[in-house]
Amino acid sequence: MKEAKLKYYAGGFDIVTQGNYVLCAVSKKKIDLQDLRYWSVELQEAYSSPIEVAKKISND
């Protein structure tokens, strides 16, 4: 398995560098691309669940 590099948009993402997963910006858990549902367009980072999104927001 290889980490992918993505460009995030409001309705989806483009794969910049091919891979199978991305890392959650908060928990550092691997997220398979087919399971990726949460990300920040502004920060260009992925999150494994709404819990990590809330943690990120509360820390900023």
Work out the angle at residue 31's Cα, subtended by the Cα atoms of residues 26 and 41, and round it to the nearest 5 degrees: 60
For CA atoms 14, 19, 21, 23, the dihedral sign is: negative
Q: For the segment 27-47, what is each residue's pLDDT rounded down to a tens digit?
A: 999 999 999 999 999 999 999
pLDDT at 19: 98
36 neighbors 22 (Cβ within 8 angstroms):
yes
Number of residues that this document lists for the chain = 60
**Sequence ranges of the domains in the chain:** 5-59
3-state secondary structure of 28: coil
Average pLDDT score, the chain: 96
> The pTM is what?
0.92
Q: For the segment 2-16, what is each residue's pLDDT rounded down to a tens digit?
A: 999 999 999 999 999
For residue 60, pLDDT over 90 is answered with: no
How many beta carbons lie within 10 A of that of residue 6, not counting itself? Answer: 20
